[in-house]
Structure 1
Amino acid sequence: MRFLARVLTVPLLTVPFVLSGPPAQAAAPGVHVVTTHDTFAEYRPGEHAVTYRPELVPVGARARVLSVSTPGLGTTTRLAVTGLLPDRAYGAHVHTDPCGATGAAAGPHYQHVPDPVRPSVDPAYANPENEIWLDLTTDRLGRGAALSRVDWRFGPRRGKSIVLHEHHTATHPGHAGTAGARLACVDVPF
């Protein structure tokens, strides 16, 4: 089982740039693999990748996600984007709900151990070990990628989207987990 898990994590460095077709799920015993890719568009019902601020996440920009969960190793998630603004920092996190007409539709960040206080700004809960953070900075061509590794797997309660935010994620008390406005959202069936 461990050998298979290691083999499945190797493609995280290259696969997100070559995936094509509709969102897919593949699984070996105990391994959960999710891949999705989509092109950001303005909201309309049934849209799975939405930009709320086209001046910062242009219509036509693309997102690709690969997430692998394995027993004993946790969850590794890779986000790759193209077509964003060049040389710009973006925050990104897994959220509890699917994308919708506004950024708020995606709900709060998914937390493995939920903070009883909302909004969650306590670094004991809002941190990259309890949430999946995928902050990135684009290159001169507007491309960027991020990788998150956490030691847990999704249970019955699962994340349903990744939201791109205005800036990298804060970590200090009272602001932990905040990353500014919600710029765009892509559905991911974790």
Structure 2
Amino acid sequence: MVAGVCVGAVAAVVLAAGAGSAYGADGGADPGTAAPERERGYVMRTDARFAPPAALVPSAAVTYDETFVPAGAWIEVGQSTAPDGATSVRLKVRGVKPGHSFGVHVHQKPCAADPAAAGGHYQHVKSTDPHQANPDNEVWLDFTAGPTGSGDASARHDWGFRRGEASSVVLHAEPGNHGSRVGCFTIPFGWTAGTA
């Protein structure tokens, strides 16, 4: 609640899962789907407005520090996964702290009131080696907000997500592999067959 206005929002999701047993937000598509439809892969776009964890109307986008991510700031994340497993993730934000550089990564678990609930970064090759925490093995979407608090970023990898292991995007107070968690957005990421 900000100045008497409810800022929580339910995320809008646009999905186009047409990949048969290979891709899909729910683990696959209708087995009766025609081959040309299945060959398209997985496409998803979702957006929401950030709200504090205790907002009257909850949101899929949670702000943990309104200095960096004010309530009411907007976020959109899109994913497209080709039939060969190559995955692109796109991020757009509006209304965050102007001129600030954010670190943004795909995380393993959904957002919750506790910033730590989103777990660690999603890694293509799981490792405890700190050298594996890099933009090639993880999805990094770092950006610097413009004068009006807008920003965008994208990342592309030749690999796809494993089923149930990529569930959110976390905004950090610093770019790279540092900084406290200042915002989180739960995402219906699709997964790739053979990685379940």
Pick one of 134, 144, 148 that aligns with 2:141.
134
Aligned to 1:8: none
Secondary structure at the counterpart of residue 23 of structure 1: strand
Aligned to 2:15: 25
Select between 39-48 and 126-135 the one with higher mean Cα deviation: 39-48
Which structure has the highest helix share of the two?
1
Aligned runs of 1:144-155 on 2, under 5 Å? 144-155=151-162
Aligned to 1:181: 180
Same amino acid, percent of matched pairs = 40
Query: 1:77 Cα deviation (Å)?
Result: 0.6
> Residues 42-69 of structure 1, C-alpha deviation per residue, up to 9 Å, x if partnerless?
0038531100001111000010011101
Query: Unaligned regions of 5+ residues in structure 2, if any?
Result: 1-10, 19-37, 190-196
The answer to whether structure 1 residue 167 and structure 2 residue 166 are counterparts is no
Query: 1:35 Cα deviation (Å)?
Result: 1.0
Pick one of 89, 92, 104 that aligns with 1:80.
92
TM-score, normalised relative to structure 2: 0.76
Secondary structure at the counterpart of residue 183 of structure 1: strand
Query: 1:34 Cα deviation (Å)?
Result: 1.5
- What is the alpha-carbon distance in structure 2 between the residues aligned to residue 52 and residue 132 of structure 1? 21
Aligned runs of 1:9-158 on 2, under 5 Å? 22-28=12-18, 29-30=38-39, 31-44=41-54, 46-72=58-84, 74-115=86-127, 117=128, 122-123=130-131, 125-158=132-165
Secondary structure at the counterpart of residue 58 of structure 1: coil
- What is the alpha-carbon distance in structure 1 between the residues aligned to residue 138 and residue 147 of structure 2? 29
For the aligned residue pairs, the C-alpha RMSD in angstroms reads 1.8
Q: What amino acid does structure 2 have at the position aligned with 1:51? A: T
Instruction: Give the total of aligned pairs.
Output: 158
Aligned to 2:194: none
Query: 1:189 Cα deviation (Å)?
Result: 0.8
TM-score, normalised relative to structure 1: 0.78
